[in-house]
């Protein structure tokens, strides 16, 4: 979801290589240097073991002011090598996932006392399948890190028809589309995403599986994976790759949520957190699952016999690495006799390339609103729902 509009920023110059440059006066520093990633550069490398904290955890994950996550900043996976030789170099799965999900859980774009401010409202017109639905646009600026969050909030009454021919939208439907197989669904409902590939998935079952962590985390239906998302950009610009770590879960600690937070009693809530990851830091067995060359100048590659018509048009096209972080939450809130789904999302991104970051930031609020329309259209088409 959050990545669906990162590359859509209205750029007006081609991304040229190798002489690609952009105004970095407002850019977020990556790993301490204000560099951009051109089509001829690899994405930033991750941290080495000696750079990590005692437990291999960062003080915060919801930021772009640090380098993307590196190999030794994510939990061990069997694809990383023999366990007895390498496991101690990685953070443990439980504290890592707890830190990320707790940060996502704590991010509340409706709280003005934490710096969030409503900047406007978008109501879909009569020609949209989401007609009549209003979306609050919300923002937060962190001057210390030179970071700007863009957020949105829409409320969907489960008893009312949504938009044009969408029907009633339940929490279970949104959970199916936005949490369960999040990346796969996003690639299907987002027009400019033409491919995705799961590079790695941590197992749910078995020894050290995610299910064993549910009670300690206060979440169930946990998921953790790494994915490449491929976003199309109008010519003469280059398409984008976003290499992302995705963590998802459904909260089981609902009694800790104060009723005044949502104006009613929260009956269900899921959380999705997405963080950039340094793909070149991963073992060959993992990064070679990509649909582009790693390392080196990235270009889109996959078996033509398995490519659809849109993907065949992209074969061999040059790519540029982008980055984003995002949090997405949907809470089912009971208000008297009425049940509402509060769908909130917040993101900050840098699509890289030639366009100054301040121009990208100006475009993002309007772009993320479109995700609401995309998902409602997806629902109206009968897609993405479990069993469909």
Q: What digits encode the pLDDT tens for the residues 186-200?
A: 999 999 999 999 999
Eight-state DSSP code of residue 33: B
pLDDT value, residue 86 = 73
Residues written for the chain = 388
In the predicted structure, residue 37 carries a pLDDT above the cut 60: no
3-state secondary structure of 198: strand
Which residues make Cβ contacts (< 8 Å) with residue 137, sequence separation at least 6? 118, 119, 120, 121, 122, 150, 151, 152, 365, 369
Task: State how far the Cα of 5 lies from the Cα of 282, in Å rounded to an integer.
Answer: 26
Displacement of CA 386 from its chain's centroid (Å): 21
Q: What tokens were used for 34?
A: 């204000």
Q: What tokens were used for 226?
A: 């790494």
Neighbours of 118 (CB within 10 A): 14
pLDDT value, residue 53 = 47
- Give CATH for domain 2-380: 3.30.530.20
* CA 250 to each of CA 40, 223, 270, 271, 272: distance values in angstroms, whole numbers, following the listed order: 40, 10, 4, 6, 9
Where does the pLDDT of residue 312 fall: very low under 50, low under 70, confident under 90, or very high at 90 and above? very high
Task: State how far the Cα of 105 lies from the Cα of 273, in Å rounded to an integer.
Answer: 9
Where does the pLDDT of residue 29 fall: very low under 50, low under 70, confident under 90, or very high at 90 and above? very low
Exposed, middle or buried by CB within 10 Å (0-12, 13-18, 19+), for 33?
exposed
Residues 200-220 have pLDDT tens digits of 999 999 888 999 999 999 999
Exposed, middle or buried by CB within 10 Å (0-12, 13-18, 19+), for 350?
buried
Closest CA to 325 of 121, 142, 111, 95: 142
Residues 221-253 have pLDDT tens digits of 999 999 999 999 888 789 999 999 999 999 999
Q: What is the mean pLDDT of residues 53-73?
A: 87
Residue percentage of the chain with pLDDT more than 70: 85
Taking a C-beta distance cutoff of 8 angstroms, is the pair 22, 353 a contact?
yes
Q: What is the mean pLDDT of residues 167-196?
A: 96
Which residues make Cβ contacts (< 8 Å) with residue 323, sequence separation at least 6? 30, 64, 68, 242, 276, 349, 350, 352
Where does the pLDDT of residue 55 fall: very low under 50, low under 70, confident under 90, or very high at 90 and above? low
Domain assignments of the chain as residue spans, ordered by start: 2-380
Q: What is the mean pLDDT of residues 23-50?
A: 37
Task: State how far the Cα of 223 lies from the Cα of 226, in Å rounded to an integer.
Answer: 10
Where does the pLDDT of residue 387 fall: very low under 50, low under 70, confident under 90, or very high at 90 and above? low
Exposure letters 177-187 (e unless 16+ CB within 10 A, then b): bbbbbbbebbb
């Amino acid at each position: 979801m959050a990545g669906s509009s990162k590359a859509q920023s209205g750029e007006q110059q081609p991304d040229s290589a190798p002489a690609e440059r952009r105004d970095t006066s407002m850019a977020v520093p990556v790993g301490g240097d204000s560099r951009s990633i051109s089509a001829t550069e690899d994405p930033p490398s991750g941290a080495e073991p000696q750079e990590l904290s005692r437990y291999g955890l960062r003080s915060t994950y919801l930021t772009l002011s640090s380098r993307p996550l590196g190999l030794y900043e994510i939990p061990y996976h069997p694809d990383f090598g023999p366990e007895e030789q390498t496991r101690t170099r990685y953070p443990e799965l439980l504290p890592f996932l707890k830190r990320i999900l707790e940060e996502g859980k704590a991010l509340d774009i409706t709280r003005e006392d934490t710096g969030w401010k409503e900047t406007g409202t978008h109501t879909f017109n009569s020609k949209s399948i989401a007609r009549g639905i209003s979306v609050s646009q919300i923002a937060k600026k962190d001057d210390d890190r030179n970071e700007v969050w863009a957020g949105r909030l829409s409320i969907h009454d489960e008893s009312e028809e949504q938009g044009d021919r969408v029907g009633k939208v339940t929490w279970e439907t949104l959970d199916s589309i936005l949490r369960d197989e999040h990346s796969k669904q996003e690639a299907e409902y987002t027009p400019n995403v033409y491919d995705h590939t799961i590079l790695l998935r941590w197992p749910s079952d078995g020894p050290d599986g995610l299910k064993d962590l549910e009670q300690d985390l206060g979440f169930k239906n946990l998921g953790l994976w790494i994915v490449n998302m491929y976003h199309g950009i109008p010519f003469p610009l280059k398409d984008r790759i976003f290499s992302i770590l995705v963590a998802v879960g459904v909260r089981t600690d609902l009694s800790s949520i104060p009723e005044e937070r949502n104006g009613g009693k929260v009956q269900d809530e899921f959380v999705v957190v997405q963080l950039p990851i340094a793909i070149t830091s991963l073992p060959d067995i993992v990064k070679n699952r990509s649909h582009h060359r790693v390392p080196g100048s990235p270009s889109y590659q996959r078996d033509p016999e398995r490519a659809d018509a849109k993907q065949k048009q992209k074969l061999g096209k040059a790519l540029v690495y982008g980055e984003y972080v995002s949090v997405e939450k949907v809470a089912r809130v009971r208000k008297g006799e009425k049940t509402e789904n509060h769908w909130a999302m917040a993101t900050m991104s840098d699509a890289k390339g030639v366009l100054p970051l301040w121009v990208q930031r100006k475009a993002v609020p309007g772009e993320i609103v479109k995700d609401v329309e995309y998902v409602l259209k997806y629902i109206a088409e009968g897609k993405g729902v479990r069993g469909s």
